[in-house]
Amino acid sequence: MTVRDEILGANERYAAQFDKGNLRAPPGRRFAVVTCMDARLDPARFLGLEEGDAHVIRNAGGLVTDDALRSLVISHHELATQEAFVIGHEACGMIGLSNERMRAQLGPAAEAVDFLGFADVHQAVRDSVRRIQESPLLPDTFGATGYVYDVRTGRLRQVT
């Protein structure tokens, strides 16, 4: 069985029991999460989320990039979320990722790409929280807090 068959089979089973077709689009718990795409992280499970609860915005590193900020602005202004949790994690593949190495590997097409690697996940989370706080497109009342998830224990710790 291919991965494609597996995921389509899983979806058949999910849809067969699905009973949440009447959810509204605005997240019921009025928050958004920005976190890493790392396969070891399952925000729905480690944050206790159900369908309809929250926006989950994921990218490599869980960074508040321009595009993540775009999503947060829409999340707040169009869909009424009131705060964001930025969640980095230990052993992130973005720690130490260098533009030089990526560009050497990928060639000229990668010259203009900033892959946004970082040295310290705590600092990366702080910088992301600050981008939310300083965005002129989000009000001061929009909350932003940062956490680091430990992939060994499943535990979140707040970044101060």
- Options 92, 124, 125, 132; binder of Zn ion; rule CB under 5 A: 92
73/59 Cα distance (integer angstroms): 17
Least separation in angstroms between CB 114 and Zn ion: 17
The tokens describing 61, both together, are: 């590193």
Q: Which is nearer to Zn ion, 27 or 88 (CB)?
A: 88
The tokens describing 64, both together, are: 């508040």
Least separation in angstroms between CB 68 and Zn ion: 14
Q: Which is nearer to Zn ion, 11 or 123 (CB)?
A: 123
Helix, coil or strand: residue 115 = coil
DSSP string, 118-142: BS-HHHHHHHHHHHHHH-TTS-TTS
Least separation in angstroms between CB 5 and Zn ion: 28
Instruction: Tell me how far the alpha carbon of residue 155 is from its chain's centroid.
Output: 16
In the numeric block, the tokens 């979806």 are attached to: 11
Interface map 103-142 toward Zn ion (x if CB under 5 A): ----------------------------------------
Q: How many residues bind Zn ion (CB under 5 A)?
A: 3
DSSP string, 41-52: --HHHHTT--TT
Least separation in angstroms between CB 130 and Zn ion: 19
Tell me if 117 sits within 8 A of 94, measured CB to CB: yes
The tokens describing 58, both together, are: 């994921």
Interface map 28-67 toward Zn ion (x if CB under 5 A): --------x-x-----------------------------
* Residue ranges binding Zn ion (CB under 5 A): 36, 38, 92
